[in-house]
Structure 1
């Protein structure tokens, strides 16, 4: 099931897009759950990273699609955004929010179906490397490959990633099992590190993302073996 949002203030265009999605669903067998929003502020207010694809009109009354996309990208780096517009002069700003494509009005089914297929292909390539975490502000998707390490602090976990730092209430052991297949290893009871980002080991610590993270004596041999195996497999 692909969760798809249509953000379009004109009812006729929104209905046409929904009709095209349904036609594609029948032809391809791909199932969609479609949600309609009438303005950019509707989708950004309480955004919870639940969508796989967003079809975003650019010209809207309260919040234009480009501004809405910029707000969404602060919370969700993985959702596929496609703009619906009758203007092509937004290309540069589109790249800044990693827009996949543009659907030009008036919309033809053939062009739309080709672009939708491209969006689905991107989702399928990345979906196995995504985890979802529940934050106090809502749900956030994280690309596993962009996580440097996870730190346990009391009842909280701090995620240090290339896109910033995020805190949730959870146990480190839950993610230790989930991320083992992605070359994450527990250096001590407080850190789960991505071996990809280990720059070196010195004085009982591993160097990662500019930080020195302690390796416990009990885990040192296993950690070094895991790191050696990872480097040998590159």
Structure 2
């Protein structure tokens, strides 16, 4: 099954995309589940990272597609975004937010079908490992490769990624359950480090990303062994 969101303020255009998706699904014998939104504001409210692809109109009255895409990318780095527009120069800007492609109005089924072929191929690929976490600001899907380290401060767990810092309530033990089998190791009781981001070890500190994190005496032997094993597996 492919899960699709269609975000388009023009009802006729939205209905046309739905008919194209139905036609494509029937011709390819693919089950396609579609959710409709009439504006960018609707999809970003309580956004859940559950879609394979989002068809997103660029020009909408309340929240335009470009702004909506930036907000979606903060929570979902993997969803495929395809812009819908009647102005090519707007579509080109879509690459700034990692858009896969764009569809020009007026829509033609032949061109739409070709783009769907590409989308289906991407959906069938083994996806990069990711984790989904919940915070008071919503749910986030984080590719494991983009997560640099996890830090516990009081009753808050901070997920430091290459793009942002996400704070959730919980414990480091909960993060360990998600990550220890994905190349992460504790350097002390406060930090869980992604070994692929380790740049070096100096005295009792590990250099990870742009930070120096302390390695505790109790954890040093095990941490050093984990780093050695990780490097040896490359």
Normalising by structure 1, we get a TM-score of: 0.89
Cα distance in 1 for residues equivalent to 2:223 and 2:28:
46
C-alpha distance in structure 1 between counterparts of 2:70 and 2:137, whole Å: 18
Contact 1:50 1:139 (8 Å CA) reproduced = no
Cα distance, 1:45 vs structure 2: 3.1
Please say if 1:51 is aligned against 2:31: no
Counterpart of 1:63 in structure 2 is 63
Deviation at 1:176, TM superposition (A): 2.0
What runs of 5+ residues in structure 2 fail to find an aligned partner? Answer: none
Shift of 1:213: 1.5
Partner deviation per Cα, 1:30-83 (whole Å, 9 max, x = no partner): 433211111222223333333331101122232322232233233332221101
Q: For residue 127 of structure 2, give the secondary structure of its aligned residue in structure 1.
A: helix
C-alpha distance in structure 1 between counterparts of 2:56 and 2:201, whole Å? 47
Which residue of the partner structure matches residue 82 of structure 2?
A: 82
Q: State the match for 1:149 in structure 2.
A: 149
Q: 1:142, 1:130 → 2: CA distance? A: 5
Corresponding position: 1:138 with 2:129: no
Determine the C-alpha separation between the residues in 2 that align with 1:10 and 1:147: 38
Matched, 1:108 2:108: yes
Q: Do the aligned residues in 1 keep the contact of 2:83 with 2:91 (CA within 8 Å)?
A: no
Deviation at 1:125, TM superposition (A): 4.1
Bigger shift: residues 66-75 or 90-99: 66-75
The alignment's TM-score, normalised by the length of structure 2, stands at 0.89
State the distance in 1 between where 2:124 and 2:157 align: 28
Q: SS in structure 2 opposite 1:42? A: helix
Question: Structure 1 residue 126: deviation in Å?
Answer: 6.4
SS at match of 2:89: coil
Aligned partner of 1:19 in structure 2 is 19
